[in-house]
Amino acid sequence: MASALYRFACRAFQKVFFVGVHFMPWREPQILHGAGKLKELPSQLKANGVDNVLLVTDSFLAQTDHFKSIIQYLESSGLKYAVYDQTIPNPTIENINDATHIYRQHKCNALLAFGGGSAIDCAKGVGIRIARPWTPLPLMRGTLRVLKKIPYLVAVPTTAGTGSEATVAAVISNPKTHEKYPINDFVLIPRLAVLDANITVNLPSSLTATTGMDALTHAIEAYIGYSNFNGSEDAAILAGRLIVENILTAYRDGHNIKARENLQKAAYLAGFAFTRAYVGYVHCIAHSLGGMYHTPHGLANAVILPHVLEYYGEACEKRLGFFAKAIGAVPAELDNHDAARFFIMHIRELNRSMGIPEFLDFIQDEDIPTLAKAASKEGNPLYPVPKILDAKELETLYRIVKGTKL
Ligand SMILES: NC(=O)c1ccc[n+]([C@@H]2O[C@H](COP(=O)([O-])OP(=O)(O)OC[C@H]3O[C@@H](n4cnc5c(N)ncnc54)[C@H](O)[C@@H]3O)[C@@H](O)[C@H]2O)c1
Ligand SMILES: [Fe+2]
């Protein structure tokens, strides 16, 4: 167990930070909501002084009709644009540098991300490079290091998962060091988000499942943490409810637009919640696996979530049980202890029904100390998790997630 002094130091840091964040410049993006809203992009861009925008996406999404429509709307309104379409899942520093090069070459003055969390975070990364051209990205790791306005940023999410369209975070990978980490700053909250569920209807069922479980993880980790404020609890509960009510429907019938709309709303709300109340060790572990093995973020979270909740045990039961009842995932008459246990089973069952494995057996034993160190570095002392774990305890968690019999 983490020493009493270590736990005390982490909690003291979190308390000070909790007071501090109340005075921070919180805002939400302006939202264009509903079908056909992509059409309004040019007028929004012009109204914000934009005449030349870098579109950041990936090679698959660049071929989709929705992306082609964006280009058509820009062209017919006389706006200039350039395209970076090489973002990869778990976007890298190299992606960001290449996209920044195009931004500069074409003298762009705004960014439009079309994609899942990877494209949105890549665009945020470009924003950081433009705002702070002399500081290498690895030095921006952590919280409040950018502190300078980035170019006007539009996010058009094509998955219903990360909530990056609402958050202060850009999560980036450094393949040289096998690390993946968040850069958190208020300037990274997009200025405009276009939420059109039609863009998500062709998301394959496996991605619907894993990205939806990512959003559920955001809602749960935010809610069971100690630093909820400013509507984050209500947002987490509503997000959780929308996810448990809709994820299986969207998984089985991708064209069910109501389920898609609800998941998209949930992803936004869960992003709103966790960007105020933080995530926890599920994400720390998922990020380390993304850095080391390129494990897709949603898949990692979906698998890790029940293991970490179980490991927290009594430390999270009260709030987890309450949350589970509030979102209607378990019978309301259960006490919090039983509700929490029942909810963890429910999450496992959700994963099973969507073909998500129980363990990540590719984790190599010899990597575990390095992975645990990275997870501890991300989570401690910042994340107000129900139970502080040090790197040694996190090593145990990696073994559990790998499926090792302890
Ligand atoms: N910034 C944040 O607040 C935040 C929060 C959580 C996660 N993340 C990060 O976001 C990244 C993961 O993003 P993601 O889960 O959205 O996936 P992604 O952006 O990595 O995309 C995964 C795959 O889905 C495909 N895809 C996306 N939309 C599609 C659509 N509509 N139809 C068909 N295919 C589609 C993409 O082409 C890609 O191959 C990770 O790097 C993660 O760390 C960021
Ligand atoms: Fe996430």
Q: Are 158 and 114 in contact (CB under 8 A)?
A: yes
Q: Which amino acid is at 68?
A: K
Decide: 295 in ligand 1 pocket, CB within 6 A.
no
Strand partners, 179: 174
Decide: 86 in ligand 1 pocket, CB within 6 A.
no
Which residue shows structure tokens 């774990």? 389
166 closest CA partner among 38, 283, 30, 47: 30
Kindly state the tokens that stand for 16: 């000070």
**Which residue ranges does the chain devote to CATH 3.40.50.1970?**
34-200
Decide: 89 in ligand 1 pocket, CB within 6 A.
yes
361 closest CA partner among 310, 398, 331, 388: 398
Atom of ligand 1 nearest to the CA of 60: 37
Topology of the domain covering 34-200: Rossmann fold (3.40.50)
Per-residue pLDDT, 115: 98
Decide: 162 in ligand 1 pocket, CB within 6 A.
yes
Considering the domain delimited by 4-22+204-402, tell me its CATH architecture. Up-down Bundle (1.20)
Whole-angstrom Cα distance, residue 351 to residue 346? 9
Select from 28, 114, 153, 158 the residue to mutate for testing ligand 1; criterion: most ligand atoms less than 8 Å from CB.
Answer: 158
Per-residue pLDDT, 406: 81
243 closest CA partner among 261, 262, 256: 262
Of all protein residues, whose CA lies closest to atom 33 belonging to ligand 1?
203
Q: Are 142 and 183 in contact (CB under 8 A)?
A: yes
Per-residue pLDDT, 2: 80
Decide: 216 in ligand 1 pocket, CB within 6 A.
no
Select from 90, 95, 159 the residue to mutate for testing ligand 1; criterion: most ligand atoms less than 8 Å from CB.
Answer: 159
Using CA atoms of 63, 66, 68, 74 in order, give the dihedral in degrees to the nearest 10: -150
**Which residue ranges does the chain devote to CATH 1.20.1090.10?**
4-22+204-402
Rounded distance from Cα 381 to ligand 2 centre (Å): 19
Decide: 164 in ligand 1 pocket, CB within 6 A.
yes
Q: Over its length of 406 residues, how does the chain's per-residue pLDDT go in tens digits?
A: 788 999 999 999 999 989 998 989 999 999 999 888 999 999 999 999 999 999 999 999 999 999 999 999 999 999 999 999 999 999 999 999 999 999 999 999 999 999 999 999 999 999 999 999 999 999 999 999 999 999 999 999 999 999 999 999 999 999 999 999 999 999 999 999 999 999 999 999 999 999 999 999 999 999 999 999 889 999 999 999 999 999 999 999 999 999 999 999 999 999 999 999 999 999 999 999 999 999 999 999 999 999 999 999 999 999 999 999 999 999 999 999 999 999 999 999 999 999 999 999 999 999 999 999 999 999 999 999 999 999 999 999 999 999 998 8
Decide: 254 in ligand 1 pocket, CB within 6 A.
no
Decide: 117 in ligand 1 pocket, CB within 6 A.
yes
Rounded distance from Cα 159 to ligand 1 centre (Å): 6
Total residue count of the chain as it appears in this document:
406
- This prediction has a pTM of 0.97
Q: Are 313 and 203 in contact (CB under 8 A)?
A: no
Q: Are 91 and 122 in contact (CB under 8 A)?
A: yes
Kindly state the tokens that stand for 285: 């572990």
83 closest CA partner among 66, 109, 62: 62
Neighbours of 212 (CB within 10 A): 30
Whole-angstrom Cα distance, residue 125 to residue 183? 9
Per-residue pLDDT, 131: 98
Q: Are 187 and 151 in contact (CB under 8 A)?
A: no
